[in-house]
Amino acid sequence: MGAVPLGTQMPASRRFALASRIAGELRRGEGRNLVAVGLYGSVARREDRAHSDIDLIAVIREKRPLPRFEMREGVLVSLLVETPAEARSEVYGFPWNLPEALSGWRSMRPLDDPTGFLRRLRARARRPTPRQFRETAKLDLLSTFEDYGKLRNALEAGDAAEAREMAIWFTAGAVMVDLCLKRHVLRTGRHSFIEAKSSGDTGALIFRLRYESNSIREMSRLASTIWSDLVARGRREGIRFPDFP
């Protein structure tokens, strides 16, 4: 069969079939070292489009190098390799992108799951605990404080180019804090800022700071308002933060 041009539309059924074949190849190559293979993302949700890739996760007992990306039949295939402990930590723990990570697990379609490992994690992803959201919000706010400081430095120096760059970094953390405080799991991990924008005032401000062209004065106002609101809401949730300036 000849090469398929990049971006050629492949029906969802064919993409799913290709994912299933790759799962079989992994089983033959890894044998008992393979715990499970799952499909997530747009193909798992049957919402793939012309340029959609295939997102796979392989859970293996002992890690070894496997191709992270490869082209198959004109489609990009990405493979996430995790140990059972790493996979559990995404569902039971406090990953910085918890609203996005849980979204991926909720869309999971097991392709090779003889022990039900993926099915159990998918079920758990549908019932996260309030503590997971609180702890993730706390950790994310602490890590985002560094980017907030860099953004403030750039704004106070009047450096619009650096401020624009730092606003991108700052909003990446701020949007996860906002979503965690709302206990909002994303419908799809690719729409974090879109979903945040439509789910409340702070999310809309984060969207504006990240994507709109604003003056130095307006960027300063937006950043200050976003930060103050996230800290205040976190404290109302019972999260103990340091005395941020």
- pLDDT-derived band at 90 (thresholds 50, 70, 90) equals very high
174 burial level (CB within 10 Å; 0-12, 13-18, 19+): buried
Asked, for residue 98, whether it belongs to a domain, the answer is no
Residues 117 and 134 in one domain: no
pLDDT of amino acid 10? 58
Residues 85 and 134 in one domain: no
- 21: which 2 tokens? 């074949």
Residues 20 and 74 in one domain: yes
Residues 16 and 120 in one domain: yes
Asked, for residue 3, whether it belongs to a domain, the answer is no
Asked, for residue 5, whether it belongs to a domain, the answer is no
Q: Each residue of 93-119: pLDDT tens digit?
A: 999 999 999 999 999 999 999 999 999
Residues 138 and 231 in one domain: yes
Asked, for residue 241, whether it belongs to a domain, the answer is no
Distance CA 72, CA 141 (A): 40
pLDDT higher than 80, residue 12: no
Q: Domain with 184 in it: what CATH number?
A: 1.20.120
Task: For the chain, report the end-to-end CA distance as a whole number of angstroms.
Answer: 63
Label the pairing between strands 69-72 and 54-60. unpaired
Residues 55 and 145 in one domain: no
In this predicted structure, which of 91-105, 163-177, 179-193 has the lowest mean pLDDT?
A: 179-193
Mean pLDDT of 203-230: 96
Give the range of the structural domain holding residue 142, as residue numbers without chain letter.
Answer: 130-236
Asked, for residue 244, whether it belongs to a domain, the answer is no
Distance CA 73, CA 87 (A): 29
- pLDDT-derived band at 13 (thresholds 50, 70, 90) equals confident
Q: Domain with 61 in it: what CATH number?
A: 3.30.460.10
Contact status, residue 239 vs residue 138, Cβ threshold 8 Å: yes
Contact status, residue 133 vs residue 98, Cβ threshold 8 Å: yes
pLDDT of amino acid 48? 76
Residues 62 and 136 in one domain: no
Asked, for residue 172, whether it belongs to a domain, the answer is yes
pLDDT of amino acid 9? 56
Asked, for residue 232, whether it belongs to a domain, the answer is yes
Mean pLDDT of 219-235: 96
- In what helix (H) or strand (E) does residue 81 lie, and over which residues does it extend? strand 75-82
| Top-confidence residue, 202 or 65 | 202
pTM surpassing 0.75? Answer: yes
Residues 59 and 152 in one domain: no
pLDDT higher than 70, residue 17: yes
pLDDT of amino acid 242? 74
Asked, for residue 77, whether it belongs to a domain, the answer is yes
Distance CA 158, CA 153 (A): 9
Residues 141 and 56 in one domain: no
Q: Each residue of 142-152: pLDDT tens digit?
A: 999 999 999 99
Which backbone phi and psi does 138 adopt, to 5 degrees?
Answer: -65, -50
Mean pLDDT of 207-233: 96
- pLDDT-derived band at 2 (thresholds 50, 70, 90) equals very low
Residues 180 and 84 in one domain: no
Residues 46 and 116 in one domain: yes
Share in percent of the chain as helix, strand, coil (round to 5) = 55, 10, 30
Q: What is the mean pLDDT of the chain?
A: 91
Strand partners, 168: none
Closest Cα partner for 47 from 90, 16, 91, 89?
16
pLDDT of amino acid 65? 86
Q: Domains in the chain: how many in total? A: 2
- Helix and strand numbers (H, E) in the chain are 9, 5
pLDDT of amino acid 7? 44
Residues 159 and 210 in one domain: yes
Q: How far is CA 73 from CA 10, 18, 42, 198, 226, in A?
A: 9, 9, 18, 37, 45
Distance CA 172, CA 175 (A): 6
SS3 assignment, position 54: strand
Give the amino acid at 16.
F
